[in-house]
Amino acid sequence: MPTYRGSWRLTVVGKEAAWPQRVVISGSVSGIVPGEPGRTVVIAGDEWHLVVEHDDGGGWKRSAQVIQRPLNRTGDQASQVIVSKDRFWAHDSTPDDLVVSLETVGGPLSVGKLFAADADRLTPRGSGSLRSGDGEQLLGVEITNTGFESFGYDAVLDISPRGRSELAGCGVLVQDKWRPALLRATGQEVFEGAVSVPPLEVGESTTVYFPVDCAQASSAAPEVEFELRHRSGVRSLRSYGTASITVEGRAKDHRDGGAASPTEQPRGLAHPAASPALRQEPGRAAGHSTA
């Protein structure tokens, strides 16, 4: 019985049978997919099973043969074709009575809530916002394995260069040098700035902490990108996810350096908020992964 974990898109791609066919899903999620070419459904669960059935006029029965073709991997995505034979005949043994394809949906890294954490209890501080003037703080991030296979002991999480740049833009500096007391408090291991992630089964979550300096932070809500480095089969992969956090800091003075304040616009110039902006298209969307 084929078994899958995580989120997959199932599509019925072929049917060469006179009898009605269907796919029955059971386990952490359940349902029935009619065996009609073109039918598609997303199935998401920690662990679920797939059975192909046919109705020969006497009710639904399991098909005689179900074959999983080899799993194809592209980065941290995967796809597979399943073929089946409802009943073997003297002159027809080709397993093509119902053919379905499956492909993973989304990446293995889901980034949840970001929050400022208390270094002693590892709990959110106040509203969970990073605050200027508090100096060194811990940035906590909740992550979930939303892939189709477990994270092994080799998985590590880091704030990507893009995420570090977003934080630095509002005066929040990621500290790569950990104080021994902070390492003991978090119980984490650090490898070249990246934090080791405990083994996670599909659907499991954990919280990872990073030290940041907010002494010169200014108010903002940066989108912070995280990078998960892990292995899938024999391949080393990088997966990405983003989330935002509120930074409470000193307000920026727009008149510093001679710039006009919002209420003191030079005549003949439109207010910046009313003008269109040109922005470079991001080269990597949230959740994207590379080998």
**Residues 68-86: b if buried by 16+ CB within 10 A, e if exposed:** eeeeebeebbbebbbbbbb
Residues 6+ apart with CB under 8 A from 89: none
- Domain map (residue ranges) of the chain: 3-104, 109-251
**pTM for the model:** 0.77
Question: How far is residue 250 from each of residues 129, 163, 171, measured CA to CA in Å?
Answer: 14, 21, 10
- The SS3 of residue 183 is helix
Q: What's the rounded mean pLDDT across residues 51-57?
A: 96
Query: How many angstroms separate the CA atoms of 113 and 128, rounded?
Result: 10
Residue 262 C-alpha from the chain's centroid: 39
Residue 262: the pLDDT is 41
- pLDDT classification of 126: cutoffs 50, 70, 90: confident
Q: What's the rounded mean pLDDT across residues 33-38?
A: 96
- pLDDT classification of 236: cutoffs 50, 70, 90: confident
Query: How many angstroms separate the CA atoms of 190 and 281, rounded?
Result: 33
- Alpha-carbon dihedral of residues 57, 58, 62, 66, nearest 10 degrees? -30
Main-chain dihedrals φ then ψ at residue 46, nearest 5 degrees: -65, -40
Q: Is the dihedral of CA 257, 263, 268, 269 positive or negative?
A: positive
Write the pLDDT tens digit of every residue in 63-85: 999 999 999 998 889 999 999 99
Q: What is the mean pLDDT of the chain?
A: 85
Residue 249: the pLDDT is 84
- pLDDT classification of 135: cutoffs 50, 70, 90: low
What the block records as the tokens of 79 is 């796809």
**208: pLDDT strictly greater than 50:** yes
- Residue with structure tokens 């009605």? 20
Class of domain 109-251: mainly beta
Residue 1: the pLDDT is 87
Residue 269: the pLDDT is 31
Question: Do 109-251 and 3-104 have the same topology in CATH?
Answer: no
**259: pLDDT strictly greater than 60:** no
First to last CA, the chain: 30
Residue 257 identity (one-letter amino acid)? G
Least confident of 16-25, 153-162, 180-189: 180-189
Residue 233: the pLDDT is 66
Architecture of domain 3-104: Sandwich (2.60)
